[in-house]
Amino acid sequence: MQIGFIGLGIMGKPMVRNLLKAGHELHVYDIEQKYVSEMEAAGAVPEISSAAIAAKCRLIITMLPNSEHVKAAVMGKDGILEQAQPGTILVDMSSIAPLASKEICEACEKKEVRMIDAPVSGGEPKAVDGTLSIMAGGDEAVFEEVYDILSVLGSSAVHCGAIGAGNTTKLANQIIVALNIAAVSEAFMLSTKAGVEPEKVFDAIKGGLAGSTVMNAKIPMILDGNFEPGFKIDLHIKDLRNAINTGNAQGAFLPLTTQVMEILQTLHADGLGDSDHSAIVRFYEKVTGTEIRK
């Protein structure tokens, strides 16, 4: 099948590779030409704009940083809606504000383009393995139509509700991940300060109730002092900002999210915006003057 793919960053590139491996013809675009060339070398067809992709492809996937980038690629100059044929399906897999998904979907409907939001969890390793968790919102019939394609990219794809429901679910996911990394950092700082080796603490508790996928992924990175992204601090700031704005709009109460947002913004101010979000531990390390390492 001919598939358009826009946004060839940390996540987009391995997703394109998996779709190519599954035998699809990929037409790709990114504002960074070097990423387009990289994917051309991997077997994709390079395109010069989102509109050029829309002129050729009836299924288009976007994997972009935030709401404004998706709006630009869909509704902006040289965007998808300038060239899209009626009946085209847009699967936006970026993590953006749920209200932005609704706004983009409304613009799509005017051009008879059908859209679902389908953000993912799992990060780069699962994008590479094709085992992402996909959470979707929008018309269930459209979700069913693209289910086989989503199955190439993820090991699970769940339809969560109307348009925006995928991104609402993703915000819930991002709150849990950020708070979990902060909890792990805080707990390991306590045990380190009290003189217990972090590897022993990890071994002792990972199989119990405190164990988590987040702890299993992030403690080895922290112990190695490896803060290569992965998932960048700045992207997590974006997600928590979307969560806090959505919380305000919906009357939800997010006191812990707000606290962790302050930590993330402090790290950004310290120049760590491009570090992996496991660098939340660096906030605790800076305040105490103690590192949690092997």
Nearest approach, Cβ of residue 124 and ligand NAD (Å): 5
Nearest approach, Cβ of residue 116 and ligand NAD (Å): 15
Binding region for ligand NAD (CB under 6 A): 6-12, 29-32, 35, 63-65, 69, 72-73, 94-95, 120-121, 123-124, 230-231, 235
Token pair listed for 203:
């071994």
Compute the residue count for the chain: 294
Residue 182 or 235 with smaller CB distance to ligand NAD? 235
Residue 220 or 291 with smaller CB distance to ligand NAD? 220
Residue 52 or 281 with smaller CB distance to ligand NAD? 52
User: d(Cα 156, Cα 16) in Å, to the nearest integer?
Assistant: 18
Contact 292, 222 (CB under 8 A): yes
Nearest approach, Cβ of residue 240 and ligand NAD (Å): 11
Q: State which residue has the least CB distance to ligand NAD.
A: 9
CA atoms within 13 A on the CB side of 236: 37
Active-site option among 170, 218, 232, 238: 170
Give the DSSP letter string of 92-106. E-S---HHHHHHHHH
CA angle in degrees (0–180, nearest 5) for 122-219-126: 15
Q: Is 238 a catalytic residue?
A: no
Residue 35 or 283 with smaller CB distance to ligand NAD? 35
Nearest approach, Cβ of residue 197 and ligand NAD (Å): 29
Nearest approach, Cβ of residue 119 and ligand NAD (Å): 6
Contact 174, 152 (CB under 8 A): no
Residue 108 or 201 with smaller CB distance to ligand NAD? 108
CA atoms within 13 A on the CB side of 51: 9
User: d(Cα 184, Cα 189) in Å, to the nearest integer?
Assistant: 8
Q: Is the peptide bond before 230 cis (omega within 30 degrees of 0)?
A: yes
Q: Which residues does the annotation mark as catalytic? A: 170
